[in-house]
Chains A and B, each alone.
Chain A
Amino acid sequence: MAIITAGIDIGTGAVKVALFRVDGERTEWIGKRNERIRRRDPFQLAESAYDDLLREAGLSREDVHYVATTGEGENVPFRTGHFYSMTTHARGAIYLDPEARAVLDVGALHGRAIRIDERGKVLSYRMTSQCASGSGQFLENVARYLGIAQDEIGPLSQQADNPEAVSSICAVLAETDVINMVSRGISAPNILKGIHMSMATRLAKLLKAIGANDGVTLLTGGLALDSGLVAALNEALAEQKLKITARSHPDSPYAGAIGAALWGAFRYEKLAALGQLPQAS
């Protein structure tokens, strides 16, 4: 029997929803939504995105067998179950890129590296420390300051000819540094590339720390689509003599939501077999 399952990933910067139909080995992705939060209520956004997706698919809430949340989604009232984001990103990464043996989830606040096996099982992981320097939030603040839209960041960064190193350690103080750079006439591409380089160095260290030495690493999370970051990361990996290919997938931001949906289907089947079916509302 086909299972309709939804994954809702509430992050610090955006809400992602993915809708799947799972029938044994066959997995069909029915719909997706990615909404940036920007001071709106993430739970309301999640709910309206979820309902929109259902409507587009010609489904109603009663048709959904499992609503799986991840990220900060634990308090979504209509969820069936919640999954830890480490496992959802791992599962989502394997779905998007079966060759991936490590995941680098770069979101608004956290960067984390996860080593996985070919089935998406988490082998080890490491996260950035309790400081927001080099976070996506920082990059977003800088971009807003420079008047640059999110999807312009990557292409601009790749035009840099003389990147300016970010000297400051702290995300907040670094903003002032950036103000200073602008007043010194440093170009936006060189500023952005400098930030990408500093982020890339940290991320490369994380990969080293989890023991990823070669193979494919898939970037997930909101910053995965930043081509400037991906380029800077590959440069940093080469510099640190790591034979890792870091790449991204157009649907990388959905990795958490995909993983949640697929784990949801998996759990539903298990529970169905045990005769302990949950009730989605």
Chain B
Amino acid sequence: MKCYIGIDLGSTTTKAVVMDGKGEVLGRGITNSRSNYDTASAVAKQEALIDARLTLVRRALAEEAALAGAAEGVLEGLERNFRLEQFLEQLEDLERTCLANAEHDRHEDLRKAMAEALEEIFGRLRADAEHLYAPGAERKSDFFRDIAGSRYMQRAEEVAREAGLPFDPLLNVYDKSIIEVENRPPAGDIGGKFLRALGRVLAEGGVHADHEAVRAAVERALAVELEEGYVVGTGYGRVRLPFSKEHIRSEILCHGLGAHLMYPGTRTVLDIGGQDTKGIQVDENGIVVNFQMNDRCAAGCGRYLGYIADEMNLGLHELGPLAMQAKKTIRINSTCTVFAGAELRDRLALGERREDILAGLHRAIILRAMSILSRAGGVQNEFTFTGGVAKNEAAVRELRKLVKENYGDVKININPDSIYTGALGAAEFARRAVEA
């Protein structure tokens, strides 16, 4: 099957979309951006292809009436166990790397104790993994770095205390190692991991359909060849993508087109990404006519919430729901992302509720987005909100309120896959390059 791929190399996350010849999206993948752009785009692409495989499995299961009832359960279990397989694979890599780096630790007298502590920490992390990926379990993030990082931190503190070891060297070893692990090209053997995941799903006993028929359908989906027809790259890091010039489009163009594909009636697009906030006006064909973005300061960007999540030791996903429980909105005075983290700590120390502070932080981020929008020429009907922050319900609530106050009843579109808008536009450019 011929497919077209768009890759959006953002400052914080790298996204990829796989599309078929008819323009239908087969899969989406996301990873965090790293210092090695080749690896970041390779990982995002691989993730999108994994998601595309799941789409093919869904189709294969749908083809057989007898399996129709079991499809959702199989897919959910397959994805969950595939992630577990991936996690264990990377955890093993991380353990090896940490042990090797501990060997070179500057504190010679600590080495032996460090190695023992690391083995203990990783033993506990492996034991945690099954629970992390158990049915219904919620993870604070989708990225290995975040999941492994916060668990490691917790376990290292326990082990350090029990063993009477200093905590800092254990963290330093982690900091050093996670970068090496992240910047290694992604491991292959997708098919093998899917089959092992399938084995786990069937062994879990939740699939009430003929196991052999399920296995046959999954194997059929795995056998389909996904041929890369054309790849287009965009985003902040696009100039460094390992692509030739004709495979690269500006991110403003890709965002405009992506938003247009999702909502053909859209005229204004707000994109709040990791490190930039863009207000874009597009015409009826999705072509950009005007835009504004932040420069010199990251206030009002996605990273703002990332910092706050770090400060509170929460996952990015948990911020919105917490802020929704606010009883009042605390005014946040710091414009600077980094200082807002310190202000948050002050407010907490003064006894304010975290929900109310979070509501204030969400309001602050949206107020800044509104000022960029007004510089870009205001909000016109229809208005589409894209980027990672569009997933955050508290930010969305604040945006709806402020758009209504300032621009009246404008139709507001928010797509659950809005974070992939730029990659979607890029994939469509790739498809048009061949099919049109």
| Chain A residues at the B interface, C-beta cutoff of 8 Å | 12, 36, 38-40, 72, 74-75, 109, 130-132, 135, 137-138, 144-149, 168-173, 176, 179-180, 182-184
Contact = CB atoms under 8 A, between A and B. Distances in A.
A74 to B, nearest CB: 8
B281 interface: no
A137 B338 contact: yes
18 contacts: A12-B342, A38-B153, A39-B313, A72-B346, A74-B349, A130-B335, A130-B336, A131-B335, A131-B336, A132-B336, A132-B339, A147-B180, A171-B336, A171-B337, A172-B337, A173-B297, A173-B298, A179-B11
B298 A183 contact: no
B138 interface: no
B11 A169 contact: no
B168 interface: yes
Given A39-B153, A109-B339, A172 B36 contact: no
A84 B346 CA distance: 15
B179 interface: yes
A63 to B, nearest CB: 26
B301 A172 contact: yes
A176 B236 contact: yes
A210 to B, nearest CB: 22
B348 to A, nearest CB: 10
A260 B33 CA distance: 44
Contacts, number: 87
Contacts of B334: 130
Given A38-B171, A145-B179, A173-B275, A130 B339 contact: yes
A275 B77 CA distance: 73
A72 B11 CA distance: 33
A136 to B, nearest CB: 10
Question: Which of A39, A137, A145 is packed against the most chain B CB atoms within 10 Å?
Answer: A39
Contacts of A179: 11, 33-35
A36 B35 CA distance: 26
A267 to B, nearest CB: 23
Given A109-B338, A132-B339, A176-B11, A169 B168 contact: no
B140 interface: no
A242 to B, nearest CB: 28
Interface in B296-333: 296-298, 301, 303, 307, 310, 313
